[in-house]
């Protein structure tokens, strides 16, 4: 399934080196019903975050398809794939895991990021980065259903965001947890 209706790019992040995982990201922007001008530039922190996560989980190869969508598309995908008839900030799926390699898909809502960030006082790109990191951690093997798992995931999110230069990571993670905790209990 291709979500690309506008801007698409394939980012070969690096060739496999002695101690670094091979990382490949496909980033697709599908913002047909939303203002594409807010997210036209590639955020290098996405690739940095993917590398950091792959290294933490000791993945030999880390492949992620990242779709950045509007809320209408997110609602449709959330309904089709998870049976939830509402938009959400991020969903992710592990597509394949084998011998130290993982392949997955992350779908994040640029529209939600844009709406939430203004009230919280940070940029839409920072908010979107949080969603993508959250999804990439799911692809790497983390879960956040149980309280202990959720705490471990928040710690990894904060460490990853700080590793890629997001100084306000603590506020992002705390707010993200309060929003998603209410969704989990619904």
pLDDT at 156 over 50: yes
Per the structure block, which two tokens stand in for 178?
């309060």
Q: What is the spatial distance between Cα 94 and Cα 83, in angstroms, rounded to a whole number? A: 17
DSSP category for residue 5: S
DSSP string, 39-97: G-S--HHHHHHHHHHHHHTT-SEEEEEEEEE-HHHHHHHHHHHH---S--SEEEEEEEE
Residue 36 — pLDDT band, cuts 50, 70, 90? low
Q: pLDDT at residue 86 above 60?
A: yes
**Is the per-residue pLDDT at 95 higher than 80?**
yes
Q: Domains in the chain, ordered, with CATH?
A: 8-184 (3.40.390.30)
CA separation for the pair 160, 64 (Å, rounded): 16
In this prediction, residue 81 carries a pLDDT of 87
Q: Please give the model's pTM, rounded to 2 decimal places.
A: 0.80
């Amino acid at each position: 399934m291709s979500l690309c209706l506008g801007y698409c790019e394939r980012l070969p992040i690096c060739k496999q080196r002695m101690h670094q995982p091979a990382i490949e990201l496909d980033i697709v922007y599908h913002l047909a019903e939303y203002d594409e001008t807010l997210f036209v530039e590639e955020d290098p922190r996405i690739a940095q975050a993917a590398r950091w996560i792959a290294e933490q989980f000791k993945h030999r190869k880390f492949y992620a398809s990242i779709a950045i969508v509007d809320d209408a598309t997110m609602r449709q995908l959330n309904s089709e794939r998870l049976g939830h008839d509402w938009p959400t900030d991020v969903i992710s799926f592990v597509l394949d895991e084998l011998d130290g390699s993982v392949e997955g898909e992350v779908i994040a809502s640029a529209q939600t990021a844009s709406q939430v960030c203004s009230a919280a006082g940070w940029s839409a790109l920072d908010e979107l980065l949080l969603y993508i990191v959250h999804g990439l951690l799911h692809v790497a093997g983390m879960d956040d259903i149980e309280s202990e798992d959720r705490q471990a995931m928040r710690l990894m999110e904060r460490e990853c965001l700080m590793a890629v230069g997001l100084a306000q990571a603590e506020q992002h993670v705390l707010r993200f947890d309060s929003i998603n905790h209410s969704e989990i209990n619904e």
